[in-house]
Chains A and B, each alone.
Chain A
Amino acid sequence: MTTRPVTSNSDGPLLEVRDLVKHFPVRGGVLNRVVGKVHAVNGVSLYVNHGETLGVVGESGCGKSTLGKVIIRLLEPTAGEVRFEGRVITGLSHAEMMAFRRKMQIIFQDPYSSLNPRMTVRALLREGVLFHDIVPRSEVNSYIESLIQTVGLRADAADKYPHEFSGGQRQRIGIARALSVKPHFIVADEPVSALDVSIQAQVLNLMMDLKERLGLTMLFISHDLKVIEHFCDRVLVMYLGHAVEKLSCDNLHAEAKHPYTKALLGANPIDDPDDRRPLTVLKGDVPSPFNPPSGCPFQTRCPLVMDRCRVEMPPLEDRGGGHRVACWAVEGEPSASS
């Protein structure tokens, strides 16, 4: 078991993803042959530095959850590579992967289906701790109790079952489970979407505290740009399996260039009754990832669509300061940051 300190490779990014592709085969017909594929993730590259939080935003079906799962190898990529602490982890054997499994954890969206209803909280948290030898056996119980308190539950929660908790409390258990093996990197897949507003704030505050205290690095997946803007350092905007824009969260509204990012920002109803405005309305629906359009994936709904967009995919071009945009229409404009 390698338990090197986090600083082992602090010069490079903690996580680096290059041209990641994930296609799911679709079977059909009498012979159940592969008749096509769903293009879930289409050549996404990203990096996450130590202690940084990268947000991934997009609508349902854009491939953001698949991306998170491929990164920690809950799914095998079709192509591309994932580097963690400088080592390529795609293609590692099951045994070799074990050391990395401890360092990379995931918090799932649905606190109702991601906890085994037949296991007590103690049993849920104990599995990973024992498997990875996180603390000596004699200390496991006290370690688990301290974990439970860390996520803001009472110590007597340890011997209860998941159904005895509310959604917010269950999500805290999910967070405790992810933290139990002392990971360096966490994929949070829509951790607050299933929760009520007042509970969302509790869980986001908890995650913010833990991030600071434990120096965690995170990939935060959400469909809510407001949450991402509040929580993350940088954001990657996905549409139909493609990364269409990457930018800093500091000044999202002023800096966003891609028409899809702008539409996402404009579609969020503003909570001020004095500021009523027609929401940015995009025509139509997201195309099916089974049969994506040619050229730019956003061309079917884009207000700025040009002939070139229909035939050629725009590259994700650097516009200075780490801001990257994949769009022909904004190509000529000067970047706001430069």
Chain B
Amino acid sequence: MTNSTPPILSVRNLTTSFRTERGWITAVDDVSFDLAPGETLGIVGESGCGKTVTSKSVMRLLPEHLSRIDARSRIFFRETNLAHAPEKVMRTIRGKRIAMIFQEPMTSLNPVFRIGWQIEEALRYHTELNSHERRDRIVEMLRLVEIPNPEKRIDEYPHQLSGGMRQRVMIAMALCCEPDVLIADEPTTALDVTIQAQILALMNQLKEKLGTAIILITHNLGVVAQVCDRVMVMYAGRAVESASVAEIFHHPRHPYTSALLASIPKAGGKHKGQRLHAIPGIVPSLFELPKGCRFQDRCDYKQQRCVDEEPDLIPHDIEDHPVRCHFPLPAKPTVNGRPIRPHPVP
């Protein structure tokens, strides 16, 4: 966490629950993080780990009758606590100060309105611009996200655009009010690799140009490595590790992070034909969470203590690298660049 500048977004003890037929379940459990101005924070985890719920809680986009954000939760955007702010306050922030890009460019645009109209909505609501100025601004935004022929495209419907173009429109829409924070929820997951490369290049460019702080939610570790400054790893509703991107990739301390990194096939075919390091088992159901560590059933280093008590998210012996594990992997490599096991594998 940067000490010099105060964070623009500061989330403390975020706990979000949903009402289901089987009672309330907690999808995000006591998650805290800071986002510095201009920083890119990656939130990484597999489906169901709570990364999307975290972002939607920050935006307060969850249905009120089915979900609740715990009373202890604090979501500070500058000095405003958004966690329980009235809808009136949220409307001045959502889309203007904090904007969001969703995963599915196919379904997050309204098919019956022209894209220009859809981008204009935010400008109409949040700015004093007249209709000509708004149109100019939209054309400028479309040009910024490198849509060819923006004067013509502005009057087209979503179905006339390709998947990559629609995601560009979503980005233009999110950025048109120059927000301080952009939340991108799996922005490239639905796209082909060559289009993903285009969108990532664009996001990097815009970050430099506009200085927007970004929360990038993804399960693609390659994307994280290329784009993020800091990373928070989530598992079954908990933040399990948080550190700079270099620390996460080179010295992961949570067994889950380390196993996740080991499970992706390496480019260059160095380990071709060898078995991948799969993580055994599956993510526990939120209805039947174990008493101790949530990763215990899949962990190579499980001890009795992991079954009995859940570890806290604490910096064990280095600052800025909290881990939720009783027996974290060592901070730095020791012999021949390989970490020494903190305790024997059972």
Mark A residues whose CB is within 8 Å of B.
59-60, 166, 168-169, 196-202, 204-205, 208-209, 223-227, 229-231, 249-253, 263-276, 278-282, 285-286
Contacts and interface: CB of A to CB of B under 8 A. Distances in A.
Contact of A269 (B198, B223, B269, B282): B223
B222 A201 contact: no
Contacts of A273: 225-226, 228, 245-246, 248-250
B170 to A, nearest CB: 16
B219 A197 contact: yes
A198 B259 contact: yes
Nearest to A226: B265
Contacts, number: 143
A281 B202 CA distance: 10
Nearest to A283: B198
A271 B264 contact: yes
B165 A285 contact: yes
A249 B279 CA distance: 26
Q: Which of A264, A266, A269 counts the most B-chain CB atoms under 10 A from its CB?
A: A269
B264 A285 contact: no
Contacts of B225: 269-273, 275-276
A166 B200 CA distance: 31
A270 B278 contact: no
Q: Which of B223, B225, B265, B271 counts the most A-chain CB atoms under 10 A from its CB?
A: B265
B299 interface: no
A201 B276 contact: yes
B118 interface: no
Q: Which of B165, B223, B250, B279 counts the most A-chain CB atoms under 10 A from its CB?
A: B279
21 contacts: A197-B221, A198-B259, A198-B263, A198-B278, A200-B263, A204-B265, A204-B276, A229-B272, A230-B265, A251-B269, A253-B269, A267-B196, A268-B222, A269-B196, A269-B220, A269-B222, A272-B249, A273-B226, A273-B250, A274-B250, A276-B226
Chain A to chain B: the 4 pairs with minimum beta-carbon distance, closest first: A269-B222, A230-B265, A201-B278, A267-B197
Contacts of B198: 281-282
Interface string B208-227: 00000000000111111111
Contact of B197 (A197, A205, A282): A282
A202 B298 CA distance: 12
Nearest to B285: A166
Interface in B277-335: 277-280, 282
A278 B151 CA distance: 29
A201 B201 contact: no
B193 A270 contact: no
B268 A230 contact: no
Contacts of A252: 269
Given A272-B249, A281-B201, A285-B165, A263 B265 contact: no
A271 B225 CA distance: 5
B162 interface: yes
Instruction: Indicate the size class of the contact surface on chain B.
Output: 35 or more
A211 to B, nearest CB: 10
A230 B282 contact: no
B261 A227 contact: no
Interface in B245-274: 245-246, 248-250, 259-261, 263-269, 271-273
A209 B225 CA distance: 31
B261 A230 contact: no
Q: Which of B227, B228, B259, B278 counts the most A-chain CB atoms under 10 A from its CB?
A: B278
Contacts of B263: 197-198, 200-201
B24 to A, nearest CB: 23
B273 A267 contact: no
B46 interface: yes
Contacts of B277: 201
Given A196-B219, A268-B222, A271-B222, A281 B267 contact: no
B271 A230 contact: yes
A276 B280 CA distance: 31
B194 A267 contact: yes
A110 to B, nearest CB: 14
Contacts of B260: 197-198
Given A59-B194, A201-B276, A273-B246, 6 more contacts: A198-B46, A204-B265, A230-B273, A230-B276, A285-B164, A285-B195
B201 A208 contact: no
Nearest to A251: B269
B269 A268 contact: no
A205 B275 contact: yes
B269 A249 contact: yes
A279 B282 contact: no
A280 B198 CA distance: 8
B219 A168 contact: no
B281 to A, nearest CB: 9
B192 interface: yes
B108 interface: no
Contacts of A280: 197
Q: Which of B195, B196, B267 counts the most A-chain CB atoms under 10 A from its CB?
A: B267
A224 B223 CA distance: 14
Contacts of B276: 201, 204-205, 230
A275 B222 CA distance: 11
A271 B222 CA distance: 4
Contacts of A205: 275-276, 278
Contact of A264 (B164, B193, B269): B193
Interface string B224-250: 111110000000000000000110111
